[in-house]
Amino acid sequence: MDGHGANLPGVIALRRDLHAFPETGFLEYRTAALAAETLSGLGYAVRVGPEVMRADAMAGRPSEAAILAAQQAARAAGTPEHWIARMPGGQPGVVAELTRGEGPVLAFRFDMDALPVLETVAAAHRPVAEGFASGRPGTMHACGHDGHTAIGLTLAARLAADTGWRGRLRLIFQPTEEGGRGAKPMAEAGILDDVDWFFCGHLGCLLPSGKVAARATGFLFSRKLDVVFTGRAAHAAMGPQEGRNALLAAAAAALGLHAIARHATEATHVNVGRLVAGTGRNIIADRAEMQIEVRGETEAGLAYMAGRAEAVIAGAAAMQGVTFTTQVMGETISADTSPEAAAIVARAGAGLAEMVPDWPIGGGDDATFMMRAVQRRGGKAAYFILGADLAAVHHAVDFDIDEAALETGVRLFTRIAHSILGPGPAAQEPAAQEHAA
């Protein structure tokens, strides 16, 4: 192991470093390059960019200007140019591999993206109090993916230092989990095609610290849509009757969407997360854009919500005499954890945490695309929940996680690796090593 891996800071310090430099979907240049550089230094074979992400499967890619700005910000933060150059076009995916003789192919996935949330500046918020709050106003790790990436890199170092196992270990650092956009292009690039075992997890999800659920349930199918209403501008006092008001179409649509009757027999959700309309105060707004999503527990439930949403949008446009377009910007699907994989998580977690069989994830995660890719060819996949007390609900401006869960996460992944690749966890987890972490 070279100096890079050896010098890796502890998992908490890593998470805090990542927390301070959040990057949103397809723009994780600094994060991905940090991962690639670290993994490379640890001896992993690292592939990045278009090689591990199919461009034609990317929905909702940011504008070229946004990509250039993200690259520039990463550069300014010290990111080596050669990694940026290898991840053009908003494709900061990273796949690292370490092979030790013959054995199963085991893949772990960690997501890296942050959210367009303005982190609170309240003194009581630990990232503020301890000086690792977001340095990029309007962007925040408000879902715990900083922790996921920190766990993945720490795990990479531990398993690189451990020569007892046999087989192939593949670590996937995925951009753009939010919006359900990053996993599909990675899965379609074929990186899961030979995988025997696949595991991933999520911190928090209202499961308290000290508990682990072997199997996340309640993955929702979701569809992300961008809607644009186009009307006609006019002077708001001299000729409002000449205008066609796109802002009012969007307002009516927003209310109508949130008022869609929720399904009686399954969880269904809708959200208009962003609405931008109009140009000037005394002009009838001729354009409005909305970012929305609909979700359901089943494909039928999603189809119901999506169908009702289309009707609401079309009707709201008709009310104002404006036209509209909708564009799919991302999707998530449901997937079931393989019982064999859940059993491995359950055994791995025993003694480390209080094991809970199932826990609702309460949202979605596009890791399901990867799980399905593995299962389609006969591999086994699991998605578990890593309990962590939260300061506030996911996506809130004062979200924060109990950092004690990070080390639990590293150990859980380590034990799972040993279950699959051998030898047993008992031999591989000496107290001394852990204390050093």
Q: 64-123: which residues touch its own copies (CB under 8 A)?
A: 115-118
Given the rule CB under 8 A, which of 216-224, 377-385, 403-411, 428-436 is the region that contacts its own copies? 216-224
DSSP code for 115: B
225 sits in which H/E element: strand 221-230
* Position among 12, 57, 66, 267 found at the interface with its own copies (CB under 8 A): 267
Q: Which is nearer to its own copies, 319 or 437 (CB)?
A: 319
CA distance 4 to 13: 15
**Residues 288-327 close enough to bind its own copies by CB under 8 A:** 288, 291-293, 295, 304, 308, 311-312, 314-321
- Cβ-based nearer residue to its own copies, 5 or 22: 22
| Residue 431 burial (C-beta neighbours within 10 Å; 0-12, 13-18, 19+) | exposed
**Which CB sits closer to its own copies, 162 or 293?**
293
Q: Which residues from 365-384 bind its own copies, rule CB under 8 A?
A: none
Sheet with 197-203, edge to edge strand ranges: 45-48, 94-100, 167-174, 105-111, 197-203, 380-386, 211-217, 354-360
Kindly identify the residues of this chain, within the stretch 174-213, that bind its own copies according to CB under 8 A: 178-179, 205-206
The answer to the question of residue 136 lying near its own copies (CB under 8 A) is no
Per-residue buried b or exposed e for 107-123, using 16+ beta carbons within 10 Å of the residue's own CB: bbbbbbbbbebebbeee
Choice between 255 and 350, CB closer to its own copies: 255
Is the Cβ of residue 68 or residue 161 nearer to its own copies in the bound state? Answer: 68
Q: Does 395 participate in binding its own copies (rule CB under 8 A)?
A: yes
Q: Token match 């001896």: residue?
A: 43
> Residues for the chain: how many in total?
437
Helices (H) and strands (E) counted in the chain, each on its own, are: 15, 12
Minimum distance of its own copies from residue 306's CB (angstroms) = 13
Kindly tell me which residue out of 42, 143, 155, 186 binds its own copies, with binding defined by CB under 8 A: 143
Q: Which residues pair with 173 in a beta bridge?
A: 94, 110
Report the nearest approach of its own copies to the CB of residue 363 (Å). Answer: 4
Minimal CA–CA distance to 166: which of 200, 189, 187, 196? 196
* Residue 430 sits in the site that holds its own copies (CB under 8 A): no
For residue 269, state whether it binds its own copies (rule: CB under 8 A): yes
Candidate residues 123, 124, 238, 432; the one interacting with its own copies per rule CB under 8 A: 238
Q: Which of 138, 164, 190, 351 binds its own copies (CB under 8 A)?
A: 138
**Can residue 286 be called a binding residue for its own copies (CB under 8 A)?**
yes
51: burial class by Cβ within 10 Å (0-12, 13-18, 19+)? middle
User: Does the footprint of its own copies cover residue 357 (CB under 8 A)?
Assistant: no
The sign of the CA dihedral 410, 416, 421, 424 is positive
Of 166 and 263, the one with the shorter C-beta distance to its own copies is 263
One-letter identity of residue 169: L
